[in-house]
Amino acid sequence: MATGTRTTSETRRHFLRRGLASGALGLAGILSAPAAWCRELAGNLARIGGRIVMRDDVDYPQWWSSMAWYLFKPQRFPDLIVRARSDQDVIAALAHAREKNLKVVVRSGGHNPARAVLREGGLLLDLSRLRDVQIDVAAKSAWVEPGIHGEDLVHLLAQQGLDFPAAHTGIVPIGGYILGGGLGWNMPERGIACRSILAAEVITADGRKLVASADQNRDLWWAIRGCGPGFFGVVTRYKLQLFPLHTAMTKSKYLFPLERLPQVCKALEKVTVEKEERLEILAVVGRFFPPDKPPEERDLVCAVSVFAFADSEEDASRLMQPWTNSGLPGQSLLKVENRVMDYEQLFAGQETDFSSPMRTAVENIWTDDISGALQALAGKMQKEPPPSPRCFALSAWGFSNTREDETSCVHTPAPHYLSWYLMAEEEAHLSRNRVWMDDAVKLLRPMTRGHYINEIDPLHYPQHVEECFSKDSWKQLAQLRKHHDPDGLFFTWLGHGENT
């Protein structure tokens, strides 16, 4: 058995230097600083070993800002922030919330684009320091705390020849990512990440610590596998199913002029039918060409990335064959082919991550007409450009092979996934992005079969929350909330319930 975590990788430091250069967060010192207050704590708060920040503390604004990863934040302010160090801290924080009639919201890393961790009033319970990992190599499983970043987890696993479908952005912690489903690396083969949760340790609203699995507290296990930021408890550890590490992960990337998007889509439709599950295809429309110019001087193009999760050069070549035979690679503006990469290189190569703290409006759909949806959105981006040249749309072709699974509440009602991201360079862009997003949501409604809970805006589109689940699952989640949190200790999804 292996145990421990590594320090934050060079990939993340490189990302933060580029993506957060504005200094709007500037929080490294704050987050590692020792407690610097002289307040006398009593009762349940005195039992907490982690940091406690009250709304009237002088450093509250900095802590508040650090809780949500994005530069533009809603004016919603929790009454206090508790940064837990242990399960005992979590239990004491919940006891304080019950005693003071405070609602609770739980944070792993603050990457949810709806800024769901920032609520008006209540207690913000921060789990980001809980990062322990215990790997059982023989059983191909691991107990993982919610604050561990995806890139750090896969690094630890790779040392043991193991793997897990972590998020495509390396600094996203496991907790919120997997609780909301988890669309990650090699999803066509490995499935949505939450279905790899074998068990979880949960602290309930009444302060009990339970194990949820297929054999005990199965209803909680079912809800943990995809419920997202509306979950009615605190998960302090996940037991994850692990997979063999593919030793020759290979990436090829191509840029195509936007006028060729219909041909690209037609080819990808055929490739998606013919390919094996270990071939992952992402097509992104954005201002990427030429790459040596700033975004405002680039053309809108379609970037196709093809990932073969292979075990040898020959295996990769065979997996790539449906795409290679399409004839499109030779028609690209720019291409980089057949690069064998490890995860650190895969994480570092995501250019769209560098500006992601500027995201202000995000939406997504599951669709069975990915060609029509992507072309409709690309046409709108071309005719009515959003304010920031960093905006983009991402499509994942043949991403979900499992529609329903009775062991999880997550719902993937169509094989293809499309999400789009509106950035803001300045405050004035926020309202313009909102209008643009409203039009885009309406445009794609006929092709929408459902949504993914981790990348929606539930405050502006509360109906989209219900559409992340099947009708039966939505009803069952409501019943489970009443059973496990009868007094409404935990905030529900934004846009649903009071004090959102």
Domain 248-463 has CATH 3.40.50.2020: no
What local confidence, expressed as pLDDT, does residue 403 receive? Answer: 66
pLDDT, one tens digit per residue, over 120-175 is 999 999 999 999 999 999 999 999 999 999 999 999 999 999 999 999 999 999 99
**Which tokens belong to 299?**
């053309």
Other CB atoms within 10 Å distance of the CB of residue 80: 23
Among the ranges given (23-27, 48-52, 229-233, 284-288), the one the predictor scored with the smallest mean pLDDT? 23-27
What local confidence, expressed as pLDDT, does residue 331 receive? Answer: 93
Q: Are strands 248-257 and 299-310 parallel, antiparallel or unpaired?
A: antiparallel
What local confidence, expressed as pLDDT, does residue 39 receive? Answer: 61
Percent of the chain clearing pLDDT 90 (strictly above): 87
What local confidence, expressed as pLDDT, does residue 34 receive? Answer: 40
Distance CA 212, CA 202 (A): 7
User: Residue 483 corresponds to which amino acid?
Assistant: H
What local confidence, expressed as pLDDT, does residue 458 receive? Answer: 95
What local confidence, expressed as pLDDT, does residue 42 receive? Answer: 84
pLDDT-derived band at 35, boundaries 50, 70, 90: very low
Q: Which CATH number fits domain 1-245: 3.30.200.20, 3.30.465.10, 3.40.1350.10, 2.60.40.10?
A: 3.30.465.10
What local confidence, expressed as pLDDT, does residue 14 receive? Answer: 45
What average pLDDT does the segment 462-489 reach? 97
Q: Are strands 123-126 and 104-107 parallel, antiparallel or unpaired?
A: parallel
Angle (deg, nearest 10), helices 261-274 and 370-383: 160
What local confidence, expressed as pLDDT, does residue 37 receive? Answer: 42
pLDDT, one tens digit per residue, over 44-92 is 999 999 999 999 999 999 999 999 999 999 999 999 999 999 999 999 9
What local confidence, expressed as pLDDT, does residue 244 receive? Answer: 98
CATH 3.40.462.20 domain extents, the chain = 248-463
- Asked if residue 235 lies in contact with residue 146, where contact means CB atoms within 8 angstroms, the answer is yes
What local confidence, expressed as pLDDT, does residue 47 receive? Answer: 96
Among the ranges given (37-46, 205-214, 215-224), the one the predictor scored with the smallest mean pLDDT? 37-46
Q: What angle do CA 329, 335, 340 make, to 5 degrees?
A: 100
Is the pLDDT assigned to residue 25 strictly greater than 80?
no
pLDDT, one tens digit per residue, over 264-273 is 999 999 999 9
What average pLDDT does the segment 411-440 reach? 96
Is the pLDDT assigned to residue 12 strictly greater than 50?
no
What average pLDDT does the segment 392-419 reach? 92
CATH 3.30.465.10 domain extents, the chain = 1-245
What local confidence, expressed as pLDDT, does residue 404 receive? Answer: 73
What local confidence, expressed as pLDDT, does residue 134 receive? Answer: 98
pLDDT-derived band at 24, boundaries 50, 70, 90: very low
pLDDT, one tens digit per residue, over 359-375 is 999 999 999 999 999 99
Distance CA 480, CA 218 (A): 11
Q: Is 377 helix (H, G, I), strand (E, B) or coil?
A: helix
- Asked if residue 410 lies in contact with residue 226, where contact means CB atoms within 8 angstroms, the answer is yes
What local confidence, expressed as pLDDT, does residue 401 receive? Answer: 74
Other CB atoms within 10 Å distance of the CB of residue 405: 17
Phi then psi for residue 413, to 5 deg, are -80, 0
Among the ranges given (13-22, 94-103, 108-117), the one the predictor scored with the smallest mean pLDDT? 13-22
Is the pLDDT assigned to residue 454 strictly greater than 50?
yes
Percent of the chain clearing pLDDT 70 (strictly above): 91
Q: What's the distance, CA 500 to chain centroid?
A: 21
What local confidence, expressed as pLDDT, does residue 10 receive? Answer: 44
Q: What's the distance, CA 369 to chain centroid?
A: 23
pLDDT-derived band at 498, boundaries 50, 70, 90: low
What local confidence, expressed as pLDDT, does residue 431 receive? Answer: 96
What local confidence, expressed as pLDDT, does residue 23 receive? Answer: 37
**Which tokens belong to 335?**
């291409």
What local confidence, expressed as pLDDT, does residue 351 receive? Answer: 77
Is the pLDDT assigned to residue 20 strictly greater than 50?
no
Average pLDDT across the chain, whole number:
92
